[in-house]
Structures are given as structure tokens and as C-alpha cells.
Amino acid sequence: MSWQGLLSSLKNLLSYAMLATVAPPAPKTHQPALPAIPKLSPEEEKLALQEKLGRCIQGMRETFILDLSTSNELLTEVSQYYAKRPSKLMRPRLILLTALAVNASVGERDALPQQVRLAEIVEMIHVVSLLHDDVIDESDTRRGDLSAPSKFGNKNSILAGDFVLGRAMSLIAALENFDAMREIAGVVTTLVEGEIIQAEDSIALGEKAKAGQAADQWGSYMERIFLKTGSLFARALRSTAMLSGLPSDDERVLAVGDYGTELGLAFQIIDDALDFKETSVDSAGKPTGAVDLRLGLITAPVFYALEERPDELAPYVSRKCSEPGDTAEVVRIVRETSALPRTYALAAQHAQKARDALQVLPSTPARDALEALTMKVLSRDQ
């Protein structure tokens, strides 16, 4: 074809394209108008969101339990042991709500299959951390029942944890997003770093308390609660947002990461306050309360109580509540000081920062639910 021929074909093509864009609308037929979709009230929207979330969580939980089965009966039983227990499934809920809140900003109404998968993977990693943690902490009970190591032995609890981690790793590839995959791999290394710092703090505690330097550990406390809870929430939520197709430096990715960090800190600080709620004896005959202190760890309530009654509290701290009656005494002293209200105030500051971080997302029922979660974390009693 000559170049003049080519030019004329291009002109024709161009005019067709222009015609297509300015084509008159199709003649109106006399069909009855479709009824307009009724606008839901905020209360109805909230209910619809809860239903959607409930269905999604239910489906995820079923797949989760199925994905932890294997041909070996014992391995299946130990791996599924915590997964089958009633639980709040806080991490998957958080991931799915974040998915809905972020997806709304890119014109997507539902959580994507990869985001539902991520919720499952993160819950698996959480289960691994519990199977291993109950061995490290020598915990006899979890959620009011025997812990996995008490029921199946330390060896089986550790091996089942390794197995669940392997299953989680095999699912990571399904995310098909390298940034998200890197973040999730980082969750595991960060949890382990947190545990090591915790073990070091525990060894150092006796000496520090004797020398009246326990307060030096405040910084280390904040670092370890970030590593064991805040970082997991942050990484999981950043991955969720990246699975919506957002780049890792997008302000929405960073915002949900900040929300995760702050919510995780608030969650853990309240956990530490609940350790001083009361003291009694658990089903294994061990005293409840001041659990961390007995493991050699100072948490926010003890830091605050030490400021007010250092001489009275220090001996219990340095001997890690090892004598009969110590636990009850420490719980009594902590409760007599302003330590618990101050601990709640600290958690409330982090909850506020979490809410502030969300403001870059569009206002939706999912964002409202994420905001409400920051209040729920503060008022939880278990």
C-alpha cells in the first residue's frame, strides 16, 4: 500500500472512532423505569457490612481448618487444636475490614480472593506463634482450656507449629504480589526477634530491679510489644492494601500500616492491664494474674506502680513472684496505685493515633468499623 493509501485508511479509522464517541444515544423505548435501589440507612449499612464480614470469616475459617489437615491423625489434631477453638479471629477480621475500607478507594466493593487468603495465612502464623509460645512460657492453659503442650507435649506442639508454618508458606505464593509476600515473611522474623528481646529482658530483670533500674526497661517494653503485636498488625494490613493494587509507598498503604501499629500497641497494653484484673487459681492450680512478672517481664502497669511504690514492689519484681502469696500481693499493690488507669490512658493514646491514621481513607462503613475496633480494644475484658 502507498503512503497516500495508508493515510486515507488512517483517516477513515479516525473518523469511525470519532463517530463512535459522538454517536447519538439509542432511541428511547417505552419500557417502565427500573425501581431505584433504595439507599440504606447508616444502621442498615452497618448490618449489611457485619453480614458480609460474617460470611467471609465463616468461609475463611472452614478453609483454614481444612488446610491444616494431613494424612497423620496426631499432626492434624495438634495443628487444628487452637484453630478449632472458639476465638474472636481478630486478625482475619481486621484484614477483611481493611480490605473493604481500602478497596472502596479503588472502586472495588468486596474483599479480593487474595485478601481472604492473606487473612488465612496471617491466622496460621498467629496459631504457630501460640503453639510455640505456650512451650516457651510453659503455659498449662490457653483460653480456659489445656494448652497444646499440656495436652500433646512440647515436642508435638513445636512440630505442629512448624507444620502450620510450612502450610502458611505454601499459601503465600497464591498472593502473587512480591511486596505483600515480603511483608508476610517479615512477620515471622519480627515475631522471633520480639521473643528473643523478651527472653533477654527476662534474664536481666532481677538485677535491674535490685539496682532500682527497672524503669530502664520502658523502651525495651515498647519495642517488644511492637515486635510481638504491633508489627504483625502493621505488616498484615500493609499487605492487604498492596493486594488492592496499591504501591508500597501509597499513602493508604502507609496509613493502614500506622493504624495496625497503633492498634496493636493499644491491644497489647490492654492485655498487660488485664493481667492485673484479679488473681485466683486456674484449672491447673497455678495462680492467675501478674503472669508476665512471673516470667520475668515488666509491663506497663508494673512500670507505673514502681514509680509510686518502688520499695514495696521491688523485692517481688526482683524475685519474679516466686514465693507463695507473691502474686496476690503484687496484684493488690498495683491495683492500689494509679497504675491501671494510667495504663488504660496510655492504650487510649495509641487507639487515638490509630483512628487518626485512618482519616486518609474515604468514609465508609468499613472505615467506621475499623475506628470502632479501636474503642472495642480498650473496653475488652478478656
Residues that bind ligand FPP (CB under 6 A): 125, 128-129, 132-133, 136-137, 139, 165, 188, 191-192, 195, 228
Q: Which is nearer to ligand FPP, 107 or 285 (CB)?
A: 285
Q: Output the smallest distance, CB 292 to Mg ion, in A.
A: 9
Give yes or no for residue 201 binding Mg ion (CB under 5 A).
no
Segment near Mg ion (CB under 5 A), from 37-45, 55-63, 135-143, 349-357? 135-143
150 vs 244 by CB, closer to ligand FPP:
150
What's the half-sphere exposure (Cβ side, CA atoms, 13 Å) at 18? 6
- State the minimum distance, in angstroms, from the CB of residue 167 to Mg ion: 22
Q: Which is nearer to Mg ion, 133 or 326 (CB)?
A: 133
Given Mg ion, ligand FPP, none, residue 254, with its beta carbon under 5 to 8 Å by kind, binds none
Tell the smallest beta-carbon distance from residue 59 to ligand FPP (Å): 24
Q: Which of 120, 133, 183, 326 binds Mg ion (CB under 5 A)?
A: 133
Which of Mg ion, ligand FPP, none is residue 128 near (CB under 5 to 8 Å by kind)?
ligand FPP
Q: How many CB atoms lie within 10 A of CB 317?
A: 24
Q: Does 250 bind Mg ion (CB under 5 A)?
A: no
Angle (CA) 138 139 140, round 5°: 115
Residue whose CB is less far from ligand FPP, 168 or 358: 168
CB of 139 to Mg ion, least distance (A): 5
- Residue 141: which H helix or E strand, with range? strand 141-142
Shortest CA distance to 134 belongs to which of 109, 107, 116, 152? Answer: 152
C-beta of 277: minimal distance to Mg ion in Å?
Answer: 17
Nearer of residues 136 and 169 to Mg ion, judged by Cβ: 136
Residue nearest Mg ion by beta-carbon distance:
137
Q: In Å, what is the CA distance from 312 to each residue of 215, 273, 301?
A: 15, 20, 15
In three-state secondary structure terms, 153 is: coil
Nearer to ligand FPP, 223 or 312 (CB): 223
Region near Mg ion per CB under 5 A, out of 20-28, 134-142, 153-161, 228-236: 134-142
DSSP letter (8 states) at residue 309 = S
**Among residues 137 and 262, whose Cβ is nearest to Mg ion?**
137
Minimum distance of Mg ion from residue 229's CB (angstroms): 12
For 48, half-sphere exposure in the C-beta direction (CA atoms, 13 angstrom radius) is 12
Number of H helices, E strands in the chain: 17, 2
318 binds, among ligand FPP, Mg ion, none (CB under 5 to 8 A by kind): none
* The three grid cell numbers given for residue 285, joined into one nine-digit string: 492450680
Closest CA to 171 of 252, 60, 56: 60
Q: Which is nearer to ligand FPP, 119 or 125 (CB)?
A: 125
What is d(CA 121, CA 124) in angstroms, rounded to the nearest whole number?
5
Residues in binding contact with Mg ion, number by CB under 5 A: 2
DSSP string computed for 169-218? HHHHGGG--HHHHHHHHHHHHHHHHHHHHHHHHHHHHHHHHHTT-GGGGH
Find where cell 481444612 sits.
66
Instruction: Please choose which of ligand FPP, Mg ion, none residue 192 contacts, taking the beta carbon within 5 to 8 angstroms, the exact cut-off set by kind.
Output: ligand FPP
Q: Which residues contact 346 (CB under 8 A, 6 or more apart)?
A: 269, 300
Q: Does 137 bind Mg ion (CB under 5 A)?
A: yes
For residue 327, the number of C-alpha atoms closer than 13 Å in the C-beta half-sphere is 20
Q: Among residues 104 and 172, whose Cβ is nearest to ligand FPP?
A: 172
Q: 104 by DSSP, 3-state: which? A: helix
**Closest distance of CB 323 from Mg ion, Å:** 22
Shortest Å, Cβ 234 to ligand FPP: 14
Distance in Å, CB of 291 to Mg ion, minimum: 8
Task: Answer for the pair 100, 111: CB distance below 8 angstroms, yes or no.
Answer: yes
Binding site for Mg ion (CB under 5 A): 133, 137
